[in-house]
Amino acid sequence: MVSDEVLRTHLQELRRGTVVVASLVALRRPDYGYALLQRLAAHGFAVDANTLYPLLRRLEDQGLLTSEWNTEESRPRKFYRTSDDGETVLNRLLDDMTAVRTSVTDLIEGAER
């Protein structure tokens, strides 16, 4: 029997890159850190806050997200949105996810039993 530790590590590895994809998709509609966290969680992407907030920063530095401060509400919030470059990268990533999915399906169907 595989230990939970091993399983958890593999799941983590598998999930790691998908947070970026999920964020870029979700931020086609601008949102701020915590609201994005909740939206992702509602869609089955359980991301830690201390992973997501720095990630948004990094994606912004890389030019995949743009940001704007919104001061109209009760407290000022930084809203992120997927940039044009972000959209381009996202499309590549989504294509790749589809390709991986297809490959895995092929492999499962083609595998001898």
Partner 1 sequence: MSSLTDRYVAATMRAVPAQRRLELAEELRGSIADMIDDRTSGGQDHASAEREVLTELGHPEKLAARYSDRTLQLIGPRYYLLWWRLLRQLLTYIPAIVGVLSGLAKALLDGEPGAAIGTAVVAAMQTAVQIAFWVTLAFAVLERTRTPLGLPEWTVDQLAEESRERQISHSDSIASAVFLLATVGFLIGQHFQRWTTDDGSRMAVLDPALWSFWLPALIVVLLATVGLEIAKYRAGRWTWPLVAVNAVLNVAFAAPVLWLLGTDRLLNPELVERFAWLRDGGTDQVARVTAAVVVLVAIWDVTESAVKARRAA
Please tell me the distance from the alpha carbon of residue 19 to that of residue 85, in angstroms, as a whole number: 17
Residue 16 near partner 1 by CB under 8 A: no
Total site size for partner 1, rule CB under 8 A: 17
Binding marks (x or -) toward partner 1, 84..103, rule CB under 8 A? --------------------
The interface region with partner 1, picked from 3-11, 13-21, 34-42, 91-99 by CB under 8 A, is: 34-42
Binds partner 1 by CB under 8 A, chosen from 10, 15, 78, 92: 78
What kind and span of H or E run contains 85? helix 84-110
The distance of closest approach from Cβ of residue 58 to partner 1 in the complex, given in angstroms and rounded to an integer, is 6
Cβ-based nearer residue to partner 1, 3 or 71: 71
Binds partner 1 by CB under 8 A, chosen from 4, 42, 50, 109: 50
DSSP, res 28 = T
Contacts of 30 (CB under 8 A, 6+ apart): 68, 79, 80, 81
Phi, psi of 78 (to 5 degrees): -95, 120
Please tell me the distance from the alpha carbon of residue 71 to that of residue 107, in angstroms, as a whole number: 52
Binds partner 1 by CB under 8 A, chosen from 30, 66, 77, 81: 77
